[in-house]
Structure 1
Amino acid sequence: MHKHRIFAIKFASVYPLYVQKAERKNRTKKEVDQIICWLTGYDQAGLQRQIGQENDIETFFAQAPAMHPNSSLIRGVVCGIRVEDIEDPLMRKIRYLDKLIDELAKGKAMEKILRQ
């Protein structure tokens, strides 16, 4: 099976881009971290450890303690593709995170982003 090249990108290289996107829209790094921790089950120390270890995105998600049970409620379009229609489980998780960061940058309330 073909492995998408995004799986090999270091999470530590993508993370600052998420933070920059949020900060450009007057949101915070803390909010980005909250979203990532909510989705993946990492605590703050675990997230920082993953960034420090420079694991690739595939490893980052493989080692995630637990995807949030409400992550299946994430719907919408990222990069022209509906996230709920993505077949590959890893790619779907990546796009879930992209979608949540997009919602943060668009000014959505945290309660709605975190599907509470």
Structure 2
Amino acid sequence: MRSALGCVALGVLLLLVAGTFDAEPLYVTGSALILLGGGALLWIGAGARGASVSRELTARSVTEGEPLTVRVEVRAGRLPLPPGFVREPLLPEPAPLPAGRRSLKFRVDASFERRGRRMLAPPSLVLR
């Protein structure tokens, strides 16, 4: 989202410079950057509408050291998903989300070394 806004801001700046110094080639570049940034903003906004991420645990409880299998599913709304990533607390780093997909499923195998109750934060979907 920030890069799309930066693209629009750069386009506006180029249009201002083109108008100030009467540099006609900068009008084309500035206009193209504004259209590109605006299109990216629209795609991210429309692609995020209706998108969801869900997590399914294979077991309600596990014993110490036993693996727990977690299935994570990302679903798009009406439009394909823009690029981004899924933040899952059980993963060491976010899982990348390729652009243009309608759904993505992946599995995480986790184990806990210490006993006790664990509260897992919900997975989150970050679109860029």
TM band (smaller chain): under 0.3
Tell which structure's C-alpha radius of gyration is larger.
2
Q: Give the TM-score, by structure 2 length.
A: 0.23
User: Where is the strand percentage greater, Structure 1 or Structure 2?
Assistant: 2
Q: Give the TM-score, by structure 1 length.
A: 0.24
Flag the structure with more relative contact order, 1 or 2, with Cα contacts below 8 A and sequence separation at least 6.
Answer: 1
